[in-house]
Every structure is written in C-alpha cells, then in structure tokens.
Amino acid sequence: MREFLLVAVLGFTACEAAPGPSDFSAVFDGTGGHWVDLTHSFSESTIYWPTDTAGFQLDELSYGVVEGGWFYASNAFSSVEHGGTHLDAPIHFAEGRLTADEIPLTGLIGPAAVVDVSRHATRDYLLTVEDLTMWEAENGMLPDGGILLVHTGWGARWGDRTEYLGTDMVGPEAVPELHFPGIGGEAASWLVANRGIVAVGIDTPSIDYGQSADFETHVILYTENISGFENVANLEALPETGSYVVALPMKIEGGSGGPLRIVAFVPREGS
C-alpha cells in the first residue's frame, strides 16, 4: 500500500483512483520511509570535466546588516552546464532531441533500479549486458518508466580529483588520460532494444568510461531521449529495488544539461 501511495504522490499512472492528499503525509513526515540526497554540493572544489577549467564560482554580493537595519545575504554564481552532479539532456549528444526544459517530469521521476558493480569495477570497467541480466535474475525486470542507477563505488573518491578522474592534468591534453568506469555500448544498446527506462545515472564523471573516444553510450541512449545523470552521490545508501528517484535539474531553456538536485525516497521495510 505504501508503494502505491508514493507512486500516486510522484504522479505515476495508476489503475485505481489516487488517494486523497492526507494519505501522502507518510512519504514526507518520516513514517513511511526516508529520503536520501544523491547530490554533491557545488563549491570551488566541485569536479568538472578537465576542459572546463573555470569550475564553479560563487561571488558574494552582500553579506551583513544593510542600511535598513536587517541582515541580507546574496551571491552570484557561474558554472558550465556539465559539472558536479548534473543532468545530461538528450540534445547533449543527439541533434534534435530533448533540451533540458523539454524533458517531461516522467523522464525525471521514477522507480529506481540500482545495479551495484562496485565489487568488481576497475578504473576502465564497462557495465555489461551480463551485469544487467544477472541483476534481473535476482530482482526482476528493470521497470518501465524506471531510472537505472549504476553504482561503481567511484563516489567514494569524490574528494580526490586525481583519484576520481584518473589524472591530475587539466585542459584538452587531460582527456586521453581519464580513467573511470562507465556503461558499455552493448549494454546501452540492449537497454534501448529491450527495456523501457527513461534515464540512467552513475557515480562517475560520465556515463561513458574515461577512455571512451567516441562517447558511444551517450549517443545510443540520448538518441532515444533517455537522459543521463552524472556524478551522482551516495548510491551505496540505496537498495537494489524499492526506492524512487526525483531528479530535478535547473530548467534552462534550450539547455544541454544543468546542475541537478537528485534525491531518492526509500520506503520503510514492511511498508
């Protein structure tokens, strides 16, 4: 019953009439489960692609008591679209596909399937079709309208840029030196042909692995208007099944992506 209430709250299609607003309280008051923040904070230490050397900038405009007698704080910030925990809109690698503001909420909210490869993921590991089919053998089919989250364990390296990216270099010459896991092209093609997921997320800088020279997985998935969430945090806190993701990026008109606040609701056991 608790799952049905959550599905209704998040706006998914249900075959029965949605319950009244008072029934939704268990999702938000802590009695029905808990929320997990899957977002790295943005700061001067946020990790960006090596060619995006400006990083995240926060400039103080006001901080203190103003002439009228009240305290007032205000900042200006700047960032490229693709850095830190962020959205890849399909148009990022697929001409004519959805921009950041065009992605429907049904493409950003859904049941989560967490595929954990952290025990065997190496720095050049590619998620395989076998990883997906083995997961399904234990957990059932990946859900239609669901969000696939790939837990490689790389999120634990977030505080160390060199360990996370595989290089301490910056600029274009750093790109060939990148080393981190990703989603293999065969797995991406299998997902497109056989399953109805709406988005993929991963705890690395890219859904393609660091050594990719053609960004095959980006092209395969984004051509089908399947969005990507990169640099996702805290995936170790989620169960393989049963949680629900809400991923709301900055709604940039015409954008190819943008900063993302992504969270997951984990229902209480037995609910």
Q: Which residues are catalytic?
A: 92
For residue 119, the tally of other CB atoms under 10 A from its CB is 6
- 88 - beta bridge partners? 228, 257
Q: Which residues of 202-229 are buried (b: 16+ CB within 10 A; e: fewer)?
A: bbbbbbbbbbbeebbbbbbbbebbbbbb
Longest dimension (CA), the chain: 66
d(CA 14, CA 17): 7
Closest CA to 270 of 58, 32, 21: 32
> For residues 265 and 215, what is the distance between their CA atoms, to the nearest angstrom?
31
